[in-house]
Amino acid sequence: MKFHHVGIPTTEKKGEEVYLEDAKLYVTEIDASPHKIEWLRFEDGSPMPKELQTTAHVAYEVENLDAALKGQEILIEPFSPMEGIKVAFVMENGAPIEYMEASK
């Protein structure tokens, strides 16, 4: 498991954003931040869980997403927000954690 980024919810636009229509969510490019911050701006009616909309998360790259999820409290089942990546969210003591697996 390798650190990838920190995701922080916001209500303000923070630079260039990518829109994820299914999630009703705008996200910034992680590589645009020297500190690996991904800003998340949710639209009203976003289907994403409240925990993700209101609490910062830490994201990790994993080799095998299915293996990383074993025994975890799943917040969001695996999905592909962008081509070439599969992600899922788990909870740890009330905080969301993101696991990311690059497509092979």
pLDDT in tens, 28-40: 999 999 999 999 9
pLDDT of residue 82: 81
Kindly state the average pLDDT of the residues 68-83.
93
Percent of the chain's residues with pLDDT above 90:
92
pLDDT tens for each residue of 18-28: 999 999 999 99
pLDDT tier at 104 (50, 70, 90 boundaries)? low
| Rg of the chain on CA atoms, in Å | 13
CATH of domain 2-102: 3.10.180.10
**E strand map for 1-102:** 2-9, 17-20, 25-28, 37-42, 57-61, 73-82, 85-92, 95-102
